[in-house]
Amino acid sequence: MNPPLAERMRPTNLSELLGQSRILGPQSMLRRSLEKDSVPSLILWGPPGCGKTSLAHVIKSQSAKSFVSISAVSAGVKDVKETIAAARELRKIGQSSILFIDEIHRFNKSQQDALLGAVEDGTITLIGATTENPSFEINNALLSRCQLILFSPLAPDDLQNLFWSALHTHPRGILRPDLQFEEEAVKRIISQADGDARFLLNQIEWIVEALGEETSVDIEALDRLQYKKPLRYDRHYDEHYNLISALHKSVRGSDPHAALYWLHRMIQGGEDPRYLLRRLMRMAMEDIGLADPAALRMAVDARSAYDFLGSPEGIIALDQLTVYLALAPKSNALEKAGMLADTLVREHGTLPVPRAFRNAVNKTGRDLDYGSGYRYDHDSPSAFSGQDHMPQKLLGKQIYEPTDFGHEIEMRKRLEYLEKLKSART
């Protein structure tokens, strides 16, 4: 039985590797080290199907060094230690070793720690491939001993060349020059591949096998034959944080179109709508605040509506909230006020409460004259006594500074009015 098309067409030399000209161009340091068989320890980071594992296979085919490949999905510390022990024996007879670990992010801390000494003393050259951000998933000590190589998703032009090569000309491809795909069908397959060569080749193989005696594929045939690629999204890793950051910044930037797009990217990727509601509620407080007090009420109502309706009807509540927040006037005055209040507490410690505002609830308090000098605001003109309630050391300190946007315009006017009353009474 033939291996899958994606495996058959895996590059065997540098010239067959698609894209990545930035890291594998003729003058690049990585290419030069490959040609000299002096590759350092590497962490290859990029999305699925962009050539990380293929590059490792090219290194294996071109290097005179011993090459061992393991997968972090199934290997453990025992496998790592056995591989390192074998490399030490080879080193005694002058043979260098390369250890390739696919999906290295799946190794836990102790498994990664087991590699440190051997990488440090040169017993092995480590090549690790990962789809996740190494800063989150790879120990700093191990990461500092490796060169980080960032792979990009393959460009549409690269995927189009691969498509026709796999179908018509590549010696390890389908070799069916009689098959013709309409331009729109090719565009759709390439777009859905999302930079992933493996998905593209798997898709071609699936479609060709399902065609039977047909030799032409249009959009209608594609709808009938095709399986769809899940969106690239992991609720616990880097793409999750990238997308929620894009959603938050779109709302903050008053861009409802982009905000809705990022919201639905996450929903279609499988994100829990309640997580999105929590983040949108945070935006209502952090980025809008008192510029539009209705924003927080809208967020609470959206949560209730979603809890009552569920998906898919309840998703409309998230859409409504997202658009409302994006178009609401913006203010981070409350967030800044809270941060300043925290700073004052840290800098000044437990400043004493002024005697006038202490509560004389017992004999000791009464003997110490707690509450003396307090003026009851409701008995004052305009129900405002003008007292400064800050500790003595912070008298006159202003923490909340409303903006000139939305409802905070009224808040600023109110503060200015109260300041005038206070000044008139002093």
How far apart are the C-alpha atoms of 215 and 72, rounded to whole Å?
A: 41
Highest mean pLDDT among 211-220, 234-243, 256-265: 256-265
Q: Is the pLDDT of residue 61 over 80?
A: yes
Please state, in angstroms and rounded to a whole number, the distance separating the CA atoms of residues 349 and 88. Answer: 58
- Dump the DSSP string for 80-143: HHHHHHHHHHHHHTT--EEEEEETGGGS-HHHHHHHHHHHHTTS-EEEEEESS-HHHHS-HHHH
How many Å apart are CA 125 and CA 67, to the nearest integer?
Answer: 9
pLDDT on residue 166: 92
Q: Which two tokens stand for residue 280?
A: 């949108």
pLDDT, tens digit (0-9, with 9 covering 90-100), for 84-142: 999 999 999 999 999 999 999 888 888 888 899 999 999 999 999 998 888 888 888 89
- Work out the pLDDT band at 209, boundaries 50, 70, 90: confident
CA angle in degrees (0–180, nearest 5) for 179-181-182: 145
Determine the Cα–Cα distance for residues 19 and 157; give it in Å rounded to an integer: 9
CATH number of the domain at 336-424, please?
A: 1.10.3710.10
* Closest C-alpha to 9, from 73, 76, 54, 70: 54
Using the predicted structure, report yes or no on whether residue 77 has a pLDDT greater than 90.
no
Distance between CA atoms of 77 and 82, rounded to whole angstroms? Answer: 9
Q: Which helix (H) or strand (E) covers residue 150, if one does? A: strand 147-150
N-terminal to C-terminal alpha carbon distance within the chain: 95
Which CATH code fits 156-225?
1.10.8.60
- Looking at residues 220-233, what average pLDDT do you find? 68
Q: Domain 240-327: which CATH class?
A: mainly alpha
Residue 227 banded pLDDT, cuts 50, 70, 90: low
pLDDT averaged over the chain? 89
Residue 59 CB partners (closer than 8 Å, separation 6+): 34, 39, 67, 98, 100, 127
pLDDT in tens, 21-36: 888 888 889 989 998 9
Q: If pLDDT is split at 50, 70 and 90, which confidence band does 290 have?
A: very high
Distance, in Å, from the CA atom of 232 to the CA atom of 243, rounded to the nearest integer, reads 11
pLDDT score of 46 more than 60: yes
Domain ranges of the chain: 20-150, 156-225, 240-327, 336-424
Say what percent of the chain tops pLDDT 70: 96
pLDDT in tens, 293-329: 999 999 999 999 999 998 889 999 999 999 999 999 9
- Name the nearest CA neighbour of 181 among 170, 198, 166, 197: 166
Q: Any idea what DSSP says for residue 12? A: S
- Residue 360, pLDDT > 90, answer no
Answer yes or no: is pLDDT of 283 > 60. yes
**pLDDT value, residue 271:** 86
Q: Which CATH superfamily is domain 20-150 in?
A: P-loop containing nucleotide triphosphate hydrolases (3.40.50.300)
Q: Is the sign of the CA dihedral 298, 303, 305, 311 positive or negative?
A: positive
- pTM, 2 dp: 0.62
Q: Please tell me the predicted confidence (pLDDT) of residue 235.
A: 53
In this prediction, residues 170-187 reach a mean pLDDT of 90
Per-residue buried b or exposed e for 237-256, using 16+ beta carbons within 10 Å of the residue's own CB:
bbbbeebbebbbebbbeeeb
pLDDT at 234: 57
